[in-house]
Amino acid sequence: MADAPPPHQRDHRREPLSDEVGRRAERKLRARRESRRTAWFGLGMFGLVGWSVAIPTLLGIAVGLWLDTLWPGLPSWTLTLLIIGVALGCLNAWYWIKQESERD
């Protein structure tokens, strides 16, 4: 009974590395194009946008209230930082939505 040759001496026809990488990249791109967005993805994006706006807004209110106790009077730091927090939150949400839309 003859022994089989060692694995490194077997006659295998292997694809070049570049062909293998190209084939896998194409398969990955095709899977991304054909993937369907689920309701969970929509809820997750809704939550991400909501928190992206809510956190800077709440931080602005908290810092504004603190500054109003230190320096009362005009201008109202709470109102000023509330507006700045909402603006920063909206910019942050816009950034995340733009990033997600570019993935398609």
The DSSP secondary structure of 76-99, one letter per residue, reads -HHHHHHHHHHHHHHHHHHHHHHH
Distance CA 57, CA 84 (A): 8
C-alpha to C-alpha distance for 38 and 19, rounded to whole angstroms:
33
* Closest CA relative to residue 93, chosen from 54, 43, 37, 40: 54
Structure tokens at 8: 């490194």
Does 64 have pLDDT greater than 80?
Answer: yes
Give 22's pLDDT tier (boundaries 50, 70, 90).
confident
For the chain, what are the domain ranges?
38-104
Q: Quick one: average pLDDT of 50-77?
A: 91
Q: What pLDDT was estimated at residue 11?
A: 47
- Helix residue ranges, H only, 1-104: 17-34, 39-70, 77-102
Phi-psi region of 73 (alpha: psi -120 to 50; beta: other; left: phi over 0): left
* Whole-angstrom distance, CA of residue 23 vs CA of residue 62: 53
Check pLDDT > 80 for residue 12. no
Most confident of 24-28, 60-64, 69-73: 60-64
